[in-house]
Structure 1
Amino acid sequence: MTDALLLDRLPTAAEHRRIAEAVGWAEAFDWDTLPASLDRSLAGAVALQGGHAVGMGRLVGDGVKYFYVQDLAVLPEYQGAGIGTALVQRLLDHVASTAPSTAFVGLFATDGAIPLYRRHGFAQGDMTGMFRLVEPAVPAATIPSRLA
């Protein structure tokens, strides 16, 4: 890996947006609700180079049995230097240190990222990933960033 510094923290909304847009994910997020989404994440890891975020990843889920790797990305000019590998390992280390028993860790991956995840023991197995988008019944402005 390059001399990037890995930190156990979530990316800021600005860092997340900058990295997401750089990897072609500009249309994948509702930028107005992203801060609340980051707030409710279980954990995160950020790679810094020269004081600037160059990679990120986070965990979502119940924090006990089910964890999902979310938004793992590295700026294109830093890809191939081991930063993605280090971020995945950092997130898996968090799961291993917090889950009280064997945990399920899932993710969605682009075709290009499949080899990265396979190196960390992820397999497609006999399941098929699926998803669905659901429109909100309540406007986003009324959703608090933290549960009371």
Structure 2
Amino acid sequence: MTYMIHDRLPTVAEHRLLWEAVGWGSVDAEMAAGSLRNSLYGVVVTVDDAPVGMGRIVGDDSMYFYIQDVAILPVYQGHGLGKEIMNRLLAYIEKRRYENGIAFVGLFASEGKEAFYEAFGIQNHASHMTGMFTVLEKR
């Protein structure tokens, strides 16, 4: 398989295609456009110019970095593309973090994908820290 990795954010259409392909539901295009616009960095993987994977970083670009939307079309999963995306995202964080400071890197993993992220040193700290969030539903 020949693929290309692009250091860029996905377009709204690419984001929607990959988001829905991995079963995360549907996403409003206007909301996705705003979210993507406020991202720090992104990666898109293509095969024959078609998007097959993505990942991005949001945060304050100093101390807090959150990995978002790491998604690979199901037919392309298991070929190392997710690893390539994670390596690019983590390299960005390494370059941006302060030399004498810490960098907090967080993410939410889809159920069953925890081991994938653990291979990059990302751990579930549930016994010492509690990841908490809420989702504000549509009005």
TM over 0.5: yes
Q: Secondary structure of 1:38's match?
A: helix
1:1-148 correspondence to structure 2 within 5 Å: 2-27=1-26, 29-100=27-98, 101-125=101-125, 126-134=128-136
Q: Secondary structure of 2:53's match?
A: strand
Q: Secondary structure of 2:69's match?
A: strand
How many Å apart are 1:111 and its aligned residue?
2.2
In structure 2, C-alpha distance between the alignment counterparts of 1:111 and 1:4, rounded to whole Å: 27
**Unpaired segments of 5 or more residues in structure 2?**
none
How many Å apart are 1:33 and its aligned residue?
1.1
In structure 2, C-alpha distance between the alignment counterparts of 1:111 and 1:26, rounded to whole Å: 15
Alpha-carbon deviations, 1:66-87, whole Å to 9, x = none? 0000111000000000001110
How many Å apart are 1:99 and its aligned residue?
1.4
In structure 1, C-alpha distance between the alignment counterparts of 2:114 and 2:105, rounded to whole Å: 15
Identity of aligned residues (%): 45
Higher relative contact order (CA 8 A, sep 6+): 1
In structure 2, C-alpha distance between the alignment counterparts of 1:127 and 1:74, rounded to whole Å: 29
Given the two structures, how large is their TM-score scaled by the length of structure 1?
0.85
Give the AA of the match of 1:16: H
Name the Cα RMSD after superposition: 1.6
Q: Secondary structure of 1:111's match?
A: coil
Alpha-carbon deviations, 1:18-75, whole Å to 9, x = none? 1111111123x33331101100000001111111110000000101000000111000
In structure 2, C-alpha distance between the alignment counterparts of 1:76 and 1:83, rounded to whole Å: 11
Q: Secondary structure of 2:30's match?
A: coil
